[in-house]
């Protein structure tokens, strides 16, 4: 969900943290009382959002060459770039998001600290708590209502392209001893998808069925909290660190509304389709490159508008590299235009280099601008109604826009992920086959 999204994406952060060690009452009284070994195992993480707790798991493993760690959201397992333990502080890096999680032991079962990363408004610091994970196996049949299925979610106050969002939830059939039944889900606005959400459904003493799902992946800090009404609709709030807004939802089969993802192909357009599409940016050496480069002349081209801070862009990158390798011999060229959070060329080129290495990208990635308001109108003035990162522009051999696809549905969307891969392959074939 990286698109319009500009207002809803929790933006980029990098960390400097120092915490004092408390005294007893669950705290160690001196550094000598810290465990000498790293805090390996599973840890339940918690961040507070405007829509309630955002939960996740951190898995720390000891390897021959040191530590490695994973950020876990249900079945979604995301490796940290590095993990370190100095006897007091666990430091976990997400270099590709320019973020760091630093935690201090306050008891053998608890760590406290911060996640921090660069945002457009500066470095943000987010309090985080980890406690030792405890399993709560499902043992008894669930007899209450189910959240499972497809929903059309309407969020009050959202940007136009985000107001109606597809949602799909899958709920277990057995509950744990505490009465909670596990549920996973995904939100799919036109800008992309939320990544895998996870949480619980429960029924209280008054017979009301409540649900709560969340996700933290280094960028998204998102929670959705609500109730299943007696008429089968959903009511609640969805939010992040600073804001939350009410939503309602109805099952897809109960509404005549069409899929919001149909906007992906017609959300963004160009003012004059007959004109050659213009762009520019600087490469890793600082050289300015634009559409007049001899390397692009007479060739079909994909222009990918992305940001290294954008999870949906990370989902799309492997597909673009695959398309480039598949159609390069037929003349295809791809150019990535990066829009970063801060106007710091050295820092932004460093983040682009990390992004390139992560996905083994062999086509040019250019620094085109920042996410500041007005930058898109200034740098790509031909676009109308830009609203999603990534946005993928397909150009024919004359440099004219053949198609524009807004957003990207990632692996967590299942069938939608396959559909968008097939669509982008089809659009690529069309521009490769276009006459000059």
Q: Enter the pTM of the model.
A: 0.86
Here the tokens at position 183 are: 């549920």
Nearest to 192, CA basis, from 392, 49, 365: 392
In terms of CATH architecture, what is 138-260? Beta Barrel (2.40)
pLDDT in tens for each of the 436 residues of the chain?
A: 665 444 333 333 333 333 333 333 333 333 344 456 899 999 999 999 999 999 999 999 999 889 999 999 999 999 999 999 999 999 999 999 999 999 999 999 999 999 999 888 889 999 999 999 988 888 899 989 999 999 999 988 755 555 678 899 999 999 998 889 999 999 998 878 999 999 999 998 888 999 999 999 999 999 999 999 999 999 999 999 999 999 999 998 754 445 555 567 778 999 999 999 999 999 999 999 999 999 999 999 999 999 999 999 999 999 999 999 999 999 999 999 999 999 899 999 999 999 999 999 999 999 999 999 999 999 999 999 998 999 999 999 999 999 999 999 999 998 889 999 999 999 999 999 988 7
Beta-carbon-side half-sphere exposure of residue 384 (alpha carbons within 13 Å): 7
Here the tokens at position 341 are: 């959070």
Cross-strand pairs, 57: 44, 72
CB-CB contact of 17 with 125 (8 Å): yes
pLDDT at 436: 76
Cross-strand pairs, 169: 149, 185
pLDDT at 24: 31
pLDDT at 205: 84
Cross-strand pairs, 44: 57, 131
CB-CB contact of 84 with 68 (8 Å): no
In terms of CATH architecture, what is 31-132? Beta Barrel (2.40)
C-alpha distances (whole Å) from 187 to each of 150, 152, 315, 409, 415 are 10, 10, 15, 10, 14
Nearest to 130, CA basis, from 194, 187, 70, 56: 56
pLDDT at 11: 34
Domain parsing of the chain, residue ranges: 31-132, 138-260, 266-432
Here the tokens at position 43 are: 């840890």
pLDDT at 214: 98
CB-CB contact of 338 with 281 (8 Å): yes
With H, G, I as helix, E, B as strand and everything else as coil, classify residue 232.
coil
Q: List CB contacts of 256: < 8 A, sequence separation 6 or more.
A: none
Residues 202 and 146: their CA atoms lie apart, in Å, by 10
pLDDT at 5: 42
CB-CB contact of 410 with 420 (8 Å): no
Q: List CB contacts of 203: < 8 A, sequence separation 6 or more.
A: 144, 179, 209, 210
What is the CATH number that goes with domain 266-432? 3.40.30.10
Residues 190 and 202: their CA atoms lie apart, in Å, by 30
Planar angle of CA 138, 145, 240, nearest 5 degrees: 80
C-alpha distances (whole Å) from 223 to each of 196, 243, 244, 338, 385 are 12, 11, 9, 28, 28
The residue assigned the tokens 């050659």 is: 276
């Amino acid at each position: 969900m990286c698109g319009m999204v500009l207002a809803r994406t929790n933006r980029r952060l990098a960390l400097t943290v120092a915490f004092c060690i408390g005294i007893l009452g669950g705290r160690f009284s001196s550094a000598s009382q810290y465990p000498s070994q790293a805090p390996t195992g599973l840890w339940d993480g918690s961040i507070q959002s405007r829509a309630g707790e955002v939960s996740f798991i951190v898995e720390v493993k000891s390897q021959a060459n040191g530590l490695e760690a994973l950020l876990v959201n249900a079945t979604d397992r995301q490796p940290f770039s590095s993990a370190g333990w100095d006897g007091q502080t666990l430091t976990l890096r997400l270099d590709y998001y320019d973020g760091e999680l630093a935690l201090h032991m306050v008891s053998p079962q608890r760590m406290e600290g911060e996640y921090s990363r660069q945002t457009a408004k500066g470095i943000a610091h987010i309090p985080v708590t980890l406690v030792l994970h405890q399993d709560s196996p499902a043992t008894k049949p669930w007899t209450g209502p189910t959240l499972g299925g497809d929903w059309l979610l309407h969020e009050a106050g959202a940007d136009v392209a985000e107001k109606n969002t597809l949602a799909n939830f899958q709920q277990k059939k057995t509950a744990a001893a505490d009465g909670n039944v596990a549920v996973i889900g995904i939100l799919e606005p036109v800008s992309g998808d939320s990544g895998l959400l996870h949480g619980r459904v429960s029924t209280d003493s008054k017979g009301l069925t409540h649900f709560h799902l969340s996700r933290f992946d280094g960028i998204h800090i998102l929670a959705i909290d609500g109730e299943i009404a007696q008429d089968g609709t959903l009511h609640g709030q969805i939010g992040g660190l600073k804001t939350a807004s009410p939503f309602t939802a109805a099952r897809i089969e109960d509404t005549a509304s069409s899929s919001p993802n149909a906007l992906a192909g017609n959300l963004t357009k160009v003012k004059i389709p007959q004109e050659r599409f213009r762009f520019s940016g600087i490469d890793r050496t600082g050289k300015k490159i634009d559409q007049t480069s001899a390397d692009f002349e007479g060739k079909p081209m994909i222009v990918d508008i992305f940001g290294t801070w954008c999870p949906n862009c990370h989902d799309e990158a492997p597909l673009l590299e695959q398309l480039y390798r598949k159609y390069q011999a037929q003349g295809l060229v791809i150019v990535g235009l990066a829009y970063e959070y801060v106007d710091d060329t050295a820092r932004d080129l460093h983040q682009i280099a990390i992004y390139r290495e992560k996905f083994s990208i062999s086509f040019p990635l250019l620094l085109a601008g920042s996410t500041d308001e007005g930058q898109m109108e200034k740098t790509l003035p031909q676009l109308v109604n830009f609203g999603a990162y990534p946005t993928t522009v397909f150009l024919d051999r004359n440099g004219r826009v053949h198609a524009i696809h807004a957003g990207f549905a990632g692996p967590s969307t299942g069938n939608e992920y396959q559909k968008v891969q097939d669509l982008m392959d089809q659009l690529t074939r069309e521009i490769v086959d276009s006459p000059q």
